């Protein structure tokens, strides 16, 4: 058996391969001739997160699929013409290419490539547009989706499953630099973990809405995207190191335990606890949810620990990072307790998990114990009693003045 990072890499690769095969099958069922227009062997096609969103959508619009695959259609046949549709802002997003921004919303156009340049027409009339290239986060292969996409709108919902309106464009421009700084810190100080992130994550979104309505998240229905809610004006690179690790941790774990029956021995929906959230709603914590949570704590520990050990943060930023470390040590302790000492007494860890699952669980527990030993003595005096479900540094600072930090 290899190191834990080697185990993760192997399982993620296996999970990715199964996800790719699923997308290939869905594409074939949707259009049996589609592989005449794209390169069947180009696996990067089938890891496009918007394909996951498309096939998990109730409305599978051919124009949406054409936009998603436009780059690959054109690579296979530069002379092809493609029908695509602008959104309510007049924008057309072409993954792998960029944004075509017109003045005409909700309109179908014909896209082709004339003399190596993209061209839009409508009823044989050329349509003016401004082209904006894809924005990659410096030092990574991960794209920042700086505008909203209608295909992702349904993932922004409140605790009662009502769709909520989120702001993306302004907050992305405002927090772009903090996001880049955070990825750079992870790249410098936890490079193996960044490689693992890049094995599954190709895009991210910064959005802004009250966290009582929607937290940061990731979803298998848009596998490959991390969604970061930058709700507070004070969020900085410390927040993003935490949130990147957390949300991309979900994406990694989706692939890592994709064949969940190979890792969880009971029903994944077996409820171990029920939590009252700060907004008053109830969250049931089943085995699958807790397993995911433990992995996100692990990912966050790896990244925060790496930054703290090299003194990447000073002053208030160090104070915040230490507060976040304390917060996750306590949350992880609580969730491990649900596994080690289940409330119903019937399902200890060796019954909840298969042998493969136990290997992962024991590694996650080992990292927790390491973090508790390393940082516990330095953070045990922090008052976290009034922290909401998500760590809030403003509240933490009020309860733990910075001069208390040794």
Could you tell me if 104 and 127 are in contact, meaning their C-beta atoms sit under 8 angstroms apart? yes
Domain boundaries, the chain: 11-133, 143-404
Return d(Cα 382, Cα 47) in angstroms, integer: 42
Per-residue pLDDT of 326-351, as tens digits, reads 999 999 999 999 998 877 666 777 88
Question: What is the pLDDT at residue 247?
Answer: 99
Q: How far is CA 349 from CA 11, 41, 165, 332, 357, in A?
A: 21, 41, 41, 15, 9
Q: What is the mean pLDDT of residues 2-29?
A: 97
Return d(Cα 68, Cα 228) in angstroms, integer: 22
Return d(Cα 87, Cα 107) in angstroms, integer: 8
Return d(Cα 266, Cα 245) in angstroms, integer: 28
Question: What is the pLDDT at residue 163?
Answer: 98
Per-residue pLDDT of 200-229, as tens digits, reads 999 999 999 999 999 999 999 999 999 999
> Judging by DSSP bridges, how do beta strands 203-207 and 225-229 pair with one another?
parallel
pLDDT for residue 406 is more than 50: no
Q: What is the mean pLDDT of residues 184-192?
A: 98
End-to-end CA distance of the chain: 40
User: When comparing pLDDT for 328 and 1, which is higher?
Assistant: 328
Question: What is the pLDDT at residue 142?
Answer: 98
Could you tell me if 268 and 292 are in contact, meaning their C-beta atoms sit under 8 angstroms apart? no
pTM of the model as a whole? 0.96
pLDDT for residue 405 is more than 70: no
Q: What is the mean pLDDT of residues 44-48?
A: 98
Question: What is the pLDDT at residue 277?
Answer: 65
Return d(Cα 154, Cα 140) in angstroms, integer: 28
């Amino acid at each position: 058996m290899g190191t834990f990072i080697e185990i993760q890499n192997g399982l993620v690769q296996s999970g990715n391969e199964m996800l790719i095969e699923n997308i290939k099958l869905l594409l074939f069922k949707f259009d049996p001739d589609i592989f005449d227009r794209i390169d069947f062997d180009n696996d990067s096609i089938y890891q496009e997160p918007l394909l996951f969103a498309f096939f998990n959508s109730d409305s599978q619009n051919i124009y949406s699929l054409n936009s998603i695959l436009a780059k690959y259609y054109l690579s296979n046949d530069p002379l092809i013409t493609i029908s695509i549709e602008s959104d309510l802002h007049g924008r057309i997003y072409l993954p792998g290419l960029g944004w075509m921004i017109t003045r005409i919303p909700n309109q179908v156009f014909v896209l082709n490539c004339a003399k190596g340049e993209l061209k839009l027409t409508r009823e044989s009339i050329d349509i003016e547009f401004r082209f904006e290239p894809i924005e990659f986060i410096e030092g990574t292969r991960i794209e920042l989706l700086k505008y909203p996409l209608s295909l992702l709108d349904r993932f922004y919902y409140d605790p009662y499953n009502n769709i909520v309106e989120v702001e993306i464009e302004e907050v992305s421009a405002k927090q772009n630099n903090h996001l880049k700084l955070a990825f750079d810190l992870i790249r410098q100080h936890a490079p193996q973990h960044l490689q693992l992130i890049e094995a599954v994550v190709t895009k991210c979104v910064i959005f802004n809405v009250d966290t009582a309505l929607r937290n940061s998240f990731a979803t298998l229905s848009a596998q490959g995207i991390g969604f970061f809610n930058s709700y507070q004006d004070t969020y900085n690179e410390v927040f993003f190191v935490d949130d990147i690790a957390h949300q991309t941790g979900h994406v990694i774990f989706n692939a890592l335990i994709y064949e969940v029956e190979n890792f969880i021995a009971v029903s994944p929906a077996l409820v171990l606890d029920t939590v009252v959230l700060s907004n008053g709603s109830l969250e049931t914590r089943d085995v699958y949810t807790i397993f995911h949570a433990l992995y996100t704590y692990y990912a966050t520990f790896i990244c925060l620990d790496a930054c703290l050990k090299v003194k990447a943060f000073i002053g208030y930023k160090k104070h915040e990072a230490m507060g976040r470390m304390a917060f996750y040590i306590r949350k992880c302790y609580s969730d491990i307790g649900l596994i080690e000492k289940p409330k119903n007494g019937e399902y200890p860890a060796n019954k909840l998990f298969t042998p493969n699952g136990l290997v992962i669980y024991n590694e996650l527990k080992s990292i927790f114990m390491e973090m508790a030993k390393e940082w516990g003595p330095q953070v045990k005096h922090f008052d976290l009693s009034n922290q909401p479900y998500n760590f809030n540094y403003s509240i933490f600072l009020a309860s733990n003045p910075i001069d208390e930090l040794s």
